[in-house]
Structure 1
Amino acid sequence: MSRAITELPPGAEAFLARPCSATLTTLRPDGTPHVAPVRFTYDAATALVRVATRAGTRKARNVAAGGPSARVALCQADGFRWVTLEGGATVTDDPARLAEAVRRYTVRYGTAPPAPPDLAVVEFTVDHVLTLNLNG
């Protein structure tokens, strides 16, 4: 059975540090879900998730269109183990925030993300966690 919590259980941080992909769910302006595979980073100290992307992607446009009430869910799964992180999201092209997203991505995945001219970062602070089959 899954658990809904606000902080990560033991084992979840290590699970999220693995260089895996995840799915990011955003809501289109008509309220329907858009699910996209992404690479991401999770900063345990601040509970901040970063997804580097192009500003013109559907996911970035959905977050921007949602304004201050935009919500996202990111799920990393491996078989019957998974963690879903949820929170209110923003999208930015602020150079300092982009640089930090690129730095963390490069550390996690061993290579820099693509660098299109419209690079942006979707960021959200985790306020809800769902897990299955993790210790703790």
Structure 2
Amino acid sequence: MAHDLTALAPAYLAFWDEYFMCTLTTLRTDGTPHVVPVGVTFDAGQRIARVITRKDSTKVKNILAAGPDGAAVAVCQVDRGRWATLEGVARVRTDAESVADAVNRYAARYGRTPTPNPDRVMIEIAVTKALGRA
């Protein structure tokens, strides 16, 4: 079920604040999907989802390989009959301010601050579509 990004239901937004691991789907250069577990935060007001990861991860390589316009991706979480997917365009952010902001958002959602990592980057997803049943 598609949702209006300008008027997401409170239950849908609350679902993105609960502690759930998610999946991130990127596309390899041959077009096949690469799906991995990740932590995701969603800022509905900015329509941005964020994932922190290592700069040498396959998901980062897949996004960078798509070029400067970014890569089509999806993040998804499931809890029995509830599910939510955010689709959009991902870009890799390496600046310290963006990465620190993403780490703080992760800590707020998941209740723990990740160990410092000088190789950490942030995948920023400009959300274009919200789907789900929450």
Q: TM-score, normalised by structure 1?
A: 0.90
Corresponding residue of 1:20: 20
Name the SS of the counterpart of 1:17 in structure 2.
Answer: coil
- Structure 2: unaligned runs, 5 residues or longer: none
AA aligned opposite 1:106: A
Distance 1:52 1:69, change over 3 A: closer
Corresponding residue of 1:125: 126
Corresponding residue of 1:4: 2
Name the SS of the counterpart of 2:74 in structure 1.
Answer: strand
Q: What are the superposed Cα offsets for residues 43-91 of structure 1, whole Å, 9 maximum, x if unpaired?
A: 1211110100001111111111112141110001101210000001101
Identity %: 45
C-alpha separation in 2, matches of 1:6 and 1:72: 19
Kept in 2: contact 1:52–1:113 (CA 8 A): no
**Is 1:33 the counterpart of 2:33 in the alignment?**
yes
Kept in 1: contact 2:64–2:70 (CA 8 A): no
C-alpha separation in 1, matches of 2:12 and 2:93: 27
Distance 1:111 1:35, change over 3 A: same
Q: TM-score, normalised by structure 2?
A: 0.91
C-alpha separation in 1, matches of 2:93 and 2:70: 15
- Structure 1: unaligned runs, 5 residues or longer: none
AA aligned opposite 1:102: V
AA aligned opposite 2:14: A
Corresponding residue of 1:102: 103
C-alpha separation in 2, matches of 1:95 and 1:69: 20
Kept in 2: contact 1:83–1:129 (CA 8 A): yes
Structure 1 stretches of at least 4 aligned residues deviating more than 6 Å after TM superposition: none
Corresponding residue of 2:83: 82
Name the SS of the counterpart of 1:116 in structure 2.
Answer: coil
How many residues were matched structurally?
131
C-alpha separation in 2, matches of 1:5 and 1:80: 17
- With 106-115 and 19-28 compared, the bigger mean Cα shift is at 106-115
Kept in 1: contact 2:70–2:91 (CA 8 A): no
Q: Post-superposition shift, 1:118?
A: 1.1
